[in-house]
Amino acid sequence: MDILSEIVAHKRKEVASQKELYPIKLLEKSIFFEGHPVSLKRYIQREDKSGIIAEIKRKSPSKGIINQYVSIERTSIGYMQAGASGLSILTDKNYFGGSIEDLKVARSFNFCPILRKDFMVDEYQIVEAKSIGADVILLIAAVLDKQEIEKLGTLARSLGMEVLLEVHSEEELKKVTDKIDLIGVNNRNLKTFETDVKTSKDLIDDIPSDFVKVTESGLHSPEVVNDLKAVGFQGFLIGEMFMKNSRPEKAAKEFISQTK
């Protein structure tokens, strides 16, 4: 079993447990549930922002521990002050060291769009995302069929949230539906964890023009971001590059100042 299949299998068990502990009726009573989500699409396209979606990630299956004791409050506020267009918060605990609490903390200190970064396989997780204050959810084409993407995207939209669909190949782009808002090309192969920004360049022309185009992973320098911006990408999801610094928000400020 490859790591992606392992993560998804574990996620299904985790969701089953969560459903028993926190039924949907309970999630709907959250203070965040009636809130109006903020548009990541609009923030990415704002001229006073960088297009960078700055991520908080404590660890990963490929890199191990990156920044275990990061301050969510300080880092999330610092990211936005640095000019980021939005936040990405890892909520997977087992493989990425994140938590639902991390996103709640980021939400309580920021009015910007927040992406819940997780492996979404069940409608329950969409409702849960709204209940913790997420504005955007991630759907990964590698683990969902087109019908599942349509179903999960429809529910997210009905709750006012936007949907970022992550793809890795031309084949996965065939799963694009009108129930999503942004398309992200992940330059990291989720099965081998190898990273190559050529993946984004190869797919840019195949992404329909009515979606905001995001590139993810392997964006290790402002020059790479500027290069991908020149070919048509509008959003740039960066985590590890900032998180490996003891003060991720300072790394983000310096990085963003060098992008066009």
Which listed residue (11, 41, 57, 213) is catalytic?
57
Which listed residue (117, 130, 175, 179) is catalytic?
117
Half-sphere exposure of 9 (CA within 13 A, CB side): 6
Distance CA 5, CA 121 (A): 12
Which listed residue (14, 216, 240, 249) is catalytic?
216
Among candidate residues 50, 25, 53, the one with its CA nearest the CA of residue 38: 53
Known catalytic residue at 117: yes
Known catalytic residue at 217: yes
Which stretch of DSSP H or E encloses residue 75?
A: helix 72-81
Which listed residue (166, 172, 240, 249) is catalytic?
166
SS (H, E, C) 155-175: HHHHCCCEEEEEECCHHHHCC
Known catalytic residue at 28: no
Known catalytic residue at 55: yes
Strands 182-186 and 235-238: unpaired
Distance CA 164, CA 160 (A): 13
Among candidate residues 113, 114, 213, 129, the one with its CA nearest the CA of residue 167: 213
Known catalytic residue at 200: no
Strands 86-90 and 52-56: parallel
Half-sphere exposure of 237 (CA within 13 A, CB side): 30
Which listed residue (14, 55, 162, 240) is catalytic?
55
φ, ψ for residue 113, nearest 5 deg: -70, 135
Which listed residue (50, 88, 187, 217) is catalytic?
217
Known catalytic residue at 88: no
Which listed residue (76, 85, 88, 186) is catalytic?
186
Known catalytic residue at 240: no
Positions marked active-site = 55, 57, 117, 166, 186, 216-217
